[in-house]
Amino acid sequence: MSESQFRKPTSRRAFLGGSAAAAVAVGAGAARAAGPDPLITEVQDWAAGLGEGVDATPYGLPIRFEDDVIRRNVEWLTADTISSINFTPIHALDGTITPQGCAFERHHSGAIELRKEDYRLMINGMVETPLIFTYEDLTRFPRENHVYFCECAANSGMEWAGAQLNGAQFTHGMIHNMEYTGVPLRTILEEAGYNGEGKWVYVEGADASSNGRSIPMEKALDDVLVAFKANGEALRKEHGYPVRLVVPGWEGNLWIKWLRRVEVTDAPVESREETSKYTDTLADGTSRKWTWEMDAKSVVTSPSPQSPIPHGPGPLVITGLAWSGRGAITRVDVSKDGGRTWETARLARAGEARALTRFYLDTEWDGSEMLLQSRAMDETGYVQPSKAALREVRGENSIYHNNGIQTWWVRESGEAENVEVS
């Protein structure tokens, strides 16, 4: 865009520097300018010409100034990017809905490209009529809309032995929360003549790993969805296009992407993904198995290591996310002193079952350092435990289901670091 003819030939940078230095901090963090602010008094580039036409962006991406709000990997964890994981930038998001474009991905054999036309879903095993559905067939059943979080059982798994990764994105970013549109699995089982005999379903994907898992029939008939839309649009390739399973409140590994088969069985299959993986070995050598439900958990997303406090003492918004696989979040407490004292945070909206809840603590920061923590409670009365309490029961051999309380050490400079308090 060309320079405005109305614009004075002053260097904008020099002007800005001068004005910033002259600004006086007042009350609620606003600044009263001591001199004229060229951002207000000068005609700016963006007002001196025309913007882009409506044909410039048939499908929009975030503006380039936000290009750091992206999925990231942990390099030492991601030696092989095909069978790997990346993390949602939860430190930079607000509200509760995760845009598909930055929602974490976890693939055991890479994200595959499967056309709707080539899609088939088989229902077999203990049903009266084994059936095969096309994508279009699925769209002819009555469908439902629900918001649910999907959390990988390994979320926070690198933190079992101590504070390790420096950022909420890395410690807690194996989670996303979307509005799904789909058909209840119950409807499809009934269509195939499920007669109450089979006690389990075995579900698998069309990718090379297939990621097969067994799900008890009680859950399969309850709230499991065969979903084909997320946040109103088609699933992205990496989230299982064209169809994935949504298993509310249960570990992400059960949320089969590129869903191709549901077999009704009388017993669990005991597949790799539910025996050698997604099972936790305890200190005494025994293992916890069938740990499907995700326990109540929370994390302060800002301030946090990737989202330091950018201002001095005064009003500060502390915010974060809370969730529970057992139902709605009813309360979140925040501590500034490593768990000695707690204040109850404000929930942005009443908690919804098996979906992310946003909390805020609108506070006055005195400029001194803080040991920030959050602690979630759900509708069953469950309270998120400390890491020490968790380790006492589970030992340190676990990878999965670490829902211990996270601590950020916020310095006087506003910068934050991942630490543990004892």
385 binding ligand MTE? (CB under 6 A): no
Residue nearest to ligand MTE as judged by C-beta position:
205
Binding mask 189-228 for ligand MTE (x = CB under 6 A): ----------------x-x-x-x-----------------
Residue 112 or 328: the one with the smaller Cβ distance to ligand MTE is 112
Minimum distance of ligand MTE from residue 411's CB (angstroms): 33
Q: How far apart are CA 248 and CA 362, in angstroms?
A: 31
User: Which positions touch Co ion (CB under 5 A)?
Assistant: 106, 152, 252-253
Nearer to ligand MTE, 260 or 375 (CB): 260
Residue 257 contact, options Co ion, ligand MTE, none, Cβ 5-8 Å cut-off depending on partner type: ligand MTE
Query: Which of Co ion, ligand MTE, none sits in contact with 220, Cβ below 5 to 8 A by type?
Result: none
Name which of Co ion, ligand MTE, none residue 255 binds, using a CB cut-off of 5 to 8 Å depending on partner kind: ligand MTE
DSSP 99: P
Cβ count near 185 (within 10 Å): 26
CA 208 from centroid of its chain's CA atoms:
25
**Size of site (CB under 6 A) for ligand MTE:** 21
Residue 257 lies near ligand MTE (rule: CB under 6 A)? yes
Question: Cα angle vertex 23, ends 18, 28, to 5°?
Answer: 155
C-beta of residue 298 within 8 angstroms of C-beta of residue 321: yes
**The pair of three-digit structure tokens given for residue 222, joined into one six-digit string:** 């309850």
Q: Whose Cβ is closer to ligand MTE: residue 194's or residue 241's?
A: 241
Q: Does 152 bind ligand MTE (CB under 6 A)?
A: yes
Contacts 24+ apart (CB under 8 A), 266-269: 266/126, 266/197, 266/198, 266/199, 266/200, 267/199, 267/200, 268/200, 268/202, 268/214, 269/200, 269/202, 269/212, 269/214
DSSP per residue, 289-327: ----BPPPEEEEEESBTTB---S-SEEEEEEEEEE-TTS
Nearest distance from residue 88's CB to Co ion, in Å? 13
**Binds 207, which of ligand MTE, Co ion, none (CB < 5 to 8 A, cut-off by type)?**
ligand MTE
CA distances from 371 to 44, 52, 93, 117, 361 (A): 42, 46, 22, 53, 14
Which CB, 102 or 332, lies closer to Co ion? 102
Q: Does residue 172 touch ligand MTE according to CB under 6 A?
A: no
Q: Which of 184, 252, 268, 305 binds ligand MTE (CB under 6 A)?
A: 252
Measured CA distances, 42 to 2, 23, 36, 48, 63 (Å)? 15, 17, 10, 10, 24
Interactions with ligand MTE, residue window 77-136 (CB under 6 A)? 103-108
Q: Give the contacts of 20 (CB within 8 A, at least 6 positions apart).
A: none
Question: Which amino acid, residue 209?
Answer: S
CB of 157 vs ligand MTE, minimal distance in Å: 11
* E strand spans, 79-135: 120-125, 131-134
Query: What is the nearest approach in angstroms of Co ion to the Cβ of residue 253?
Result: 4
The H-assigned helical ranges of 322-383 are none
The piece of 12-20, 123-131, 186-194, 254-262 that touches ligand MTE (CB under 6 A) is 254-262
The answer to whether 269 contacts ligand MTE (rule: CB under 6 A) is no
Residues that bind ligand MTE (CB under 6 A): 103-108, 150, 152, 176, 205, 207, 209, 211, 238-239, 252-253, 255-258
